[in-house]
Amino acid sequence: MQNNLYFSIIKSIITRIFFGGLFFLLLLNVRCTNDTQFVARIGEQQITLEEFKTAYLELIKQPNKFDSPDLREKFLDELINRKLLAEQSREDGLSQDEKFIYKLEGYKNKQLRDAHFKYVIEPQIKIDSNEVRQAYTFTQQIRKIKHLFFSAKEQADLIYRKLLNGADWNALAGQIFKDKKLSQNGGDLGWVYWDQLEYDMARTAFMTPLNSFSKPVKSNFGYHIIYVENIEKQLMISGYDAKIHFDKVKTMLRKMKGDKIAYQYITDLMQNKDIQVNPRMMVLINDKFNEIFKRAPSKYEQMNEIQLTDSEMRNVEEKYWNYRKETLAIIDGKEMSVGNFINMVNYIPYSAIRQGFKKTLDYAIRDFVITNEAKKLNLADKYKFVNLKAALYEDYLLQKKYKQKIIRNVKLTDKDMRKYCKIYNIIDVQDLNRGIRKQLLNDKIRQTLADSIAALRKNIHIEKNLELLHLYYNNMKLYSAIN
C-alpha cells in the first residue's frame, strides 16, 4: 500500500513537470508568434496575423462555424481576394463614393462604441465558473414561454399577487395586452433559446419550473412575469465541439451581463442630457419607417454586428438620403443629422427597430452620445482593433462594390440557353422556365466573378505563410485543451 502511494506521488510529480514544461514551451511558442508577421503577401500588400485573427473571429463566432485548418485556409483565400478586388475598386475611384464614406464612418463609430464598452463596461463584468456551467446547461434546452408585460413595477407586483391568489393567467393577459394576438394567446412568446433573451429574463425563464410563473423580472423595456409552458432538451454534443461550444457560451454570457451593465450606465448617463428633436424630420422619417422594416427578428441577429439586410439598408438610403444633412436632434449642443441616423441604424438591435421609429431613435441618440464619449477618450488610440477592423471593413465594402461593377452587365444570352438545352437534350429554349433561367444567370455571375478573381491572382505574386497560421491556432487549441 505504501509502495502504491509512493508511486502515485512520483507519477503526479512527473505529470506536473511534464505538463508544466509543455505549457511553458507552448506559451513561449504562442508569444513568439508575432502578430505583425504576415500570413499572406499580395504583391506589395500583406495580411498580418493580427488582421487574420480579427476577421476570422467574426467568422467562427457564428453558431455553425468551427475552427479547422481547412476553414482557415479557405478564409485566408477569401481575404486575399478581398484585398485584390478592393485595390481595383480604389483604382477605379469607387472609394470616393459618398455613400461608401458614410458607411465606413458608421462602422468605425460602431468600433468606437465597442471600445467604449471595453474601457468602461468590461471591467465591471464578473463571471464565475458556476454561472458558465449553468448557462451551458441552459443552451442544451429550449423553452416555450408566455409573459405578461408591464411598464411599471407597481403594476407587475399587483398582478403577481393576483396570480398567487389564483387569478387566471389568460384572463389577465386579455386585460393587459392591447395587441389583439397577445391578448388572445396569453402573451405567448413561443419557443425561445437562452441567448435570445436579456440576461435577467434568460435566467428567470430557464430557472422557472415547468408549468410555473416567475416573480416580476426587469428588462430594458419594462417588467415581465414569465410562465413556462413546455421544455425540450436539445441533442448533447461531445468532445472538442463541446469545448468550443462551452467557450462560446462563456462569451455570450459575458455579453449578456455586459449589456445589462451597459444599459444601466447609459440610462444614468442620459438622465442629464439636454435633447431637442426636430419635429418636422421626426414626422418625415416616421412616415416611411414601417415601410422598410417588415420581417420578423431572427434569433441569430444579436450575434451579428450588422443588423440590417442589404435590401433594408438600400431602402433606408433611398428614402432618407436626400435629408442626410438635415438636423434630426441636438444633444447637449451637438447636432445629430439624418446622415448620422443612417450610419447608426445598421447597428441598432433589430428587435428594437421592429418596435418602431421612436424606440430606434432612442437607441440612435444613445449611440451618438457614446460615440462622442469614445472620441473624447481617444479610444481609437487605446484600442488598435478600432482602426484595424475599420480597415478590414473598408476592404469588404470596396470588394463588394467592385463585384457589383463586374456583374452589372452580366446577361443571360440565347447562346447560354442553347448550350444548356444541348447538354440536357431540351428541344426549345422556350421550354426553360423562370427558375432554370435564374439559376443559369446566377451560375454565369459566379463564373464571371471567379474568372475575374483568377485573372487578378494570375497577374500578381501571392505568398502564403500557412505554417505561421496553423502554428498559432494549433497552439491555442492545445493551450485550451490543457486548461
d(CA 78, CA 98): 26
CATH architecture of 33-96+394-483: Orthogonal Bundle (1.10)
pLDDT, residue 432, reads 80
Given CATH 3.10.50.40, say whether it is the number of domain 129-252: yes
d(CA 48, CA 198): 36
Sign of CA dihedral 262, 265, 271, 272: negative
127-150 CB burial, b ≥16 within 10 A, e <16: eeeeebebbbebbeebbbbbbbbb
Which residue, 298, 130, 142, is CA-closest to 206? 142
pLDDT, residue 303, reads 66
d(CA 176, CA 77): 55
Write out residues in the chain with pLDDT < 50, as ranges: 1-28, 30-31
Angle between helices 69-91 and 385-407 (to 10 degrees): 70
pLDDT, residue 186, reads 93
pTM: 0.75
Domain boundaries, the chain: 1-28, 33-96+394-483, 129-252, 273-377
pLDDT, residue 19, reads 40
Strand partners, 127: none
pLDDT, residue 129, reads 86
